[in-house]
Amino acid sequence: MDQTIQLNVIPFKPMIDEIICNFHYNKPTKGSYASIYIDNISTVLEGKIDASMLNEDNKLYTNFTLEDPDTIQLKINLADNPYFALHYYRQVITEYFRSVADVMYNNFTKDIQVWFKSVEQSDTKYTTYFKFTLKVQHARLTNGPEIVLSFDGKSKVYDTPIGQLSNLDPAKYYRWVIYKNRLHYWRDLDPGIKNDLDSVFLLVNNNVKPELGITFDTPTFTNRYTKYKSYLDHFYTTYLHKASFNEILDVTKGFYMPDSEQVGNVSAESKELQYGLSRGTNPKNDFKRGKPFRPIPNKPAVKFFFIFQSNQKESSVKALFNFLKEGYKHVKWPFPSMETYISQPLQLDIEANIQFEDVESAYETIRKAIKNYDRLPDTHYMALFVNPVSKKETDIGKVNLYYQIKELLLLEGISSQVIKSENIVNNKILNDDFNTFLPHIEIAILAKLGASLGD
């Protein structure tokens, strides 16, 4: 089948073949210096360095200039020393974007992240930024250096400076901040910057959103490919395919399109999955007939128990129990019982069930019950947590109940499956399409208890 593939990789050619710069044995305390392993420039070191002056890590340090006197001066061919060249390319890309990007940051792998203010701002409380990362690599797809360009989503920066946010606890709410167009981790912020907190701005995180009156983003489940590709195309056209950038690195070839020899094809049969009783290519339908490739082992035994809010026992909890035990009864779209669908009966340890009165007291109630319950030996327990917290909840304390309970159960060696109560019964009305949730819930249970869906 003929096909054309375009990757988010941009091959480039440096506009110089070699660079002359100075190196230090020890990293200077001021300025930005790259650390270079001597193995990466071994072709030019003979007779140039005193090996006894090297530190244990066998590195030299350079800022790619001739500014520093009384240092080691080396002429380095970029093609012959590709891993040194990667450091140089990062440096020149960083320098270029210093006057172009609205915010910059080098992540822990030294990739270059650049932020640009959105043209359209939806709220006067904060500024939205589009984030992109440029990763430099050598000969992964071509025979030379390459830039991998990725879109990293959006971030919000609160428009009121930290110096005017006296009502917020820094230890609780501050993570990342912007100072003079650079991203900084709050705890690592230079102490001197605290004298200029009216120039420091908070990167909005989920913990602080309720305190600042900022609503949580509504997730979208549409195909993001087309939108993301348009962002990358715009970035390339606007910031890279320009004379000022191409004077440094020639990226005029654009995004890489691999040739037919680099693109493999799989056989038609490779899409088939082996189930317990049959093979198929449509898991949604085939799994019902074929059953798990490897069902949940009988040893250890498996016991289920429910965790729920008391006022939902006769509604969401009872309905979920019946759906798992007896199946979902529907005129047009019925769904089988859990035992029929994943070959695992719903065997309850009723005494292990945990009820709590309200969300505020839920964690302590559940923690004490888990700690004090004498579980059966040689038994794998799975909790079915009917979570009463709405997906639209903005109180971060209530939202975090999910993570707290998951962590608690994990530390106790108990598997868990969480189901939002509003997905079962909402406003006292049974969800008419809960049959669409059941296959996801039961297959997750299957996987968490050590089974295999297909091979």
**CATH no. for residue 419?**
3.40.50.2300
In this structure, is residue 325 part of a structural domain?
yes
For residues 113-136, one letter each, b for 16 or more C-beta atoms within 10 angstroms of the residue's C-beta and e for the rest, the string is bbbbeeeeeeeeebbbbbbbbbbb
Over residues 447-452, the mean pLDDT reads 87
Supply the pLDDT for residue 220: 79
Amino acid (1-letter code) at residue 323: F
Domain boundaries, position 90: 10-17+78-250
For residues 377-395, one letter each, b for 16 or more C-beta atoms within 10 angstroms of the residue's C-beta and e for the rest, the string is eeebbbbbbbbbbeeeeee
Which residue among 204, 232, 250 closes a domain?
250
Over residues 251-259, the mean pLDDT reads 95
State the Cα–Cα distance between residues 176 and 39, nearest whole angstrom. Answer: 36
State the Cα–Cα distance between residues 334 and 337, nearest whole angstrom. Answer: 10
pLDDT digits (tens, 9 = 90+) for 417-430: 999 999 999 888 99
State the Cα–Cα distance between residues 336 and 186, nearest whole angstrom. Answer: 52
Indicate whether 198 and 333 sit together in one domain: no
Query: In the structure, what pLDDT confidence band is assigned to residue 260 with cuts at 50, 70 and 90?
Result: confident
Indicate whether 383 and 308 sit together in one domain: yes
Supply the pLDDT for residue 455: 65
Indicate whether 194 and 286 sit together in one domain: no
With residue 341 as reference, give the H or E element that holds it. helix 338-342
Residue 89's closest CA among 148, 4, 5? 148
% the chain with pLDDT above 70 = 99
Query: In the structure, what pLDDT confidence band is assigned to residue 267 with cuts at 50, 70 and 90?
Result: confident
Which residue among 250, 269, 292 closes a domain?
250
Supply the pLDDT for residue 224: 87
Q: Residue 203's beta-bridge partner residues?
A: 157
Supply the pLDDT for residue 453: 66
State the Cα–Cα distance between residues 36 and 378, nearest whole angstrom. Answer: 55
**Is the sign of the CA dihedral 184, 185, 186, 192 positive or negative?**
negative
State the Cα–Cα distance between residues 448 and 27, nearest whole angstrom. Answer: 49
Supply the pLDDT for residue 395: 87
Indicate whether 96 and 159 sit together in one domain: yes
DSSP 8-state code for residue 224: -
User: Quick one: tokens of 339?
Assistant: 């035992």
HSE (side-chain half, CA atoms, 13 Å) at 72? 22
- The number of helices, as runs of H, and strands, as runs of E, in the chain is 12, 22
State the Cα–Cα distance between residues 37 and 42, nearest whole angstrom. Answer: 9
In the predicted model, is pLDDT for residue 1 greater than 60?
Answer: no
Over residues 358-363, the mean pLDDT reads 96
Indicate whether 88 and 164 sit together in one domain: yes
For the chain, the domain total comes to 2
State the Cα–Cα distance between residues 273 and 289, nearest whole angstrom. Answer: 13
Q: Are 309 and 299 in contact (CB under 8 A)?
A: no
Indicate whether 176 and 98 sit together in one domain: yes
In this structure, is residue 306 part of a structural domain?
yes
Reduce the DSSP state of residue 306 to 3 states and report it: strand
Indicate whether 193 and 232 sit together in one domain: yes
pLDDT digits (tens, 9 = 90+) for 138-169: 999 999 999 999 999 999 999 999 999 988 99
State the Cα–Cα distance between residues 240 and 245, nearest whole angstrom. Answer: 6
State the Cα–Cα distance between residues 443 and 424, nearest whole angstrom. Answer: 18
Q: Are 134 and 148 in contact (CB under 8 A)?
A: yes
In this structure, is residue 141 part of a structural domain?
yes
Supply the pLDDT for residue 174: 94
User: Quick one: tokens of 333?
Assistant: 């779209």
Give the number of other Cβ atoms within 10 Å of residue 421's Cβ: 22
Supply the pLDDT for residue 2: 67
Q: How far is CA 384 from CA 308, 320, 366, 421, in A?
A: 8, 9, 13, 11
Indicate whether 237 and 343 sit together in one domain: no
State the Cα–Cα distance between residues 130 and 220, nearest whole angstrom. Answer: 17
Indicate whether 388 and 284 sit together in one domain: yes
DSSP 8-state code for residue 313: I
Question: What's the gap between Cα 358 and its chain centre?
Answer: 32
Residue 324's closest CA among 308, 307, 340, 303? 340
In this structure, is residue 118 part of a structural domain?
yes
Is the bond leading into 345 cis (omega within 30 degrees of zero)? no
pLDDT digits (tens, 9 = 90+) for 76-95: 999 999 999 999 999 999 99
Indicate whether 296 and 233 sit together in one domain: no
Indicate whether 356 and 238 sit together in one domain: no
Which residue among 233, 250, 267 closes a domain?
250
Indicate whether 296 and 400 sit together in one domain: yes
Q: Are 36 and 273 in contact (CB under 8 A)?
A: no
User: Quick one: tokens of 313?
Assistant: 């026992």
Mean pLDDT of the chain: 93
Residue 454's closest CA among 240, 333, 285? 285
In this structure, is residue 57 part of a structural domain?
no
In this structure, is residue 46 part of a structural domain?
no
In the predicted model, is pLDDT for residue 4 greater than 90?
Answer: no
User: Quick one: tokens of 319?
Assistant: 């309905």
